[in-house]
Structure 1
Amino acid sequence: MGLEEGVYKGVHPGDIINAVKGHIPDDYKFKYNAPIDKENTNYINKPTLNDQIHCLVSVIPAGKITIINDGVIKKMKEIRAEASELIPQVVFMTRVDQVCIMTQRDITKIYQSRKIKEKMMECSNRLGVVMNCIFPVKNYSDDNNPNEKLNCLMLEALTQIVCAANAYV
């Protein structure tokens, strides 16, 4: 379940914050109309460091940044505002090959692409995430064969997440 516009649609922002803080157990089934609270039997009252999330990662398709409605952006900002006091945050901007012909032809040109930089700036402006915490990546959507260039790009982004999480811990 992702974020959707509307009070009773998608994951409730409070559930995400409770997950960050470690109050939600593994395999918990989120309910859009009933966010977890202290009265819920699944609620973890005294979470350990292992229960907590150490880095918040948002995943947004590059081609959808412009059309994400304001209600979803508002929810994301609400979550980010509370989470920013707790943990580091990053954004995976996926499907970059679908918005830029240059990266479609050669993924190694991703940081040279003006179009990708524009999408990263738009993402930064809409969500309030600093540019160096936005990682453009390409999905394995058309080809299931391993691609070293694609793997390196994703590995670099994942490495940055691990570094951010380790710094938090």
Structure 2
Amino acid sequence: MGGALFSKPWRTMPQNKQENLDFVKSYQPRNKEVEHLRILLHGPVGAGKSSFINSVESVLRGRVTGRALTDAISGNSFTKKYTTYKIHKDPENIYSFIFNDIMGFEKDDTEKAKEKDTKGGVEVEDVKLALSGHVTEGYKFIPKHKLNQGDQGYNSSPTLDDRVHVLVCVIPASSLSILSDEVLKKMREVRLAASEMGIPQLAILTKVDEACPEVKKNINNVYKSKYLKEQVDKFKCSWEFQ
């Protein structure tokens, strides 16, 4: 972990934050066959996917919320089911985008599997099925077992609304340097599958305050942190060349 800072930010942020927030609040999908833009979050166990959903909901609702349950202690995936989160504008209406949380990726560690019964987290093939809309809401992921046609939880006739429209990779800055090659390979495989389907993608770095003491002191130092800049560049290289 490092605390050195650049004199100037290494990334420029949009100046008109309110304008961007207004756009998000008023967004409507252009395709009439799509009621909601479906955003799938994926990444390693403990990356903070559920916390990110809570943060977005808190900003949009103007108060702190915690509907997506989190667990930062156990070390294995807290999310077991394919869960959809819809954020309410008011009691009767929801925003035109929804989040899907999914079980995290883990290294296939036999000893760890015996101790915690995690067996490597979510299967890559199950995430690919989710991308194409074949996983139903509430399906409980079974490590080492791929969801197959005919299984309970398999959607044999997905609509355009069931499919994933945006893929978001969530990565913890505090443990990026110790992510296994195996987990990175799984994430890249999902990324390539999404690319073939024409699904736009982006990556989010979480837990930045745990990774850099200067950021913990002042969140405005995020884009001045030399350590975080190094982590971003490192992840970009591993993401592209794994």
Question: Could you state the TM-score of these two structures normalised by the residue count of structure 2?
Answer: 0.50
The Cα of 1:56 is off from its aligned counterpart by: 1.4
The one-letter code matched in structure 1 to 2:211 is V
Cα distance in structure 2, aligned partners of 1:118 and 1:126: 12
Does residue 108 of structure 1 match 2:232?
Answer: no
Aligned to 2:231, which of 115, 119, 125? Answer: 119
The Cα of 1:16 is off from its aligned counterpart by: 0.3
> How high is the sequence identity, in percent, across the aligned residues?
36
Cα distance in structure 2, aligned partners of 1:112 and 1:84: 31
Superposed CA deviations along residues 48-106 of structure 1, whole A, max 9, x for unmatched, are 12211111122221021111111111111111111122211222211111222221221
Question: Can you give the 5+ residue segments of structure 1 that lack an aligned partner in the other structure?
Answer: 130-169
Cα distance in structure 1, aligned partners of 2:142 and 2:132: 18
* Equivalent in the alignment of 2:147: 36
Which has more strand, going by share of residues?
2
The Cα of 1:128 is off from its aligned counterpart by: 2.5
Which has more helix, going by share of residues?
1
Cα distance in structure 1, aligned partners of 2:175 and 2:240: 16
Cα distance in structure 1, aligned partners of 2:150 and 2:165: 25
Does residue 93 of structure 1 match 2:93?
Answer: no
Q: What secondary structure is seen at the aligned counterpart in 2 of 1:17?
A: helix
The Cα of 1:118 is off from its aligned counterpart by: 0.8
Cα distance in structure 2, aligned partners of 1:95 and 1:118: 15
- More contact order relative to length (CA 8 Å, sep ≥ 6): 2
Q: What secondary structure is seen at the aligned counterpart in 2 of 1:111?
A: helix
Q: What secondary structure is seen at the aligned counterpart in 2 of 1:57?
A: strand
Question: Could you state the TM-score of these two structures normalised by the residue count of structure 1?
Answer: 0.70
* Equivalent in the alignment of 2:34: none
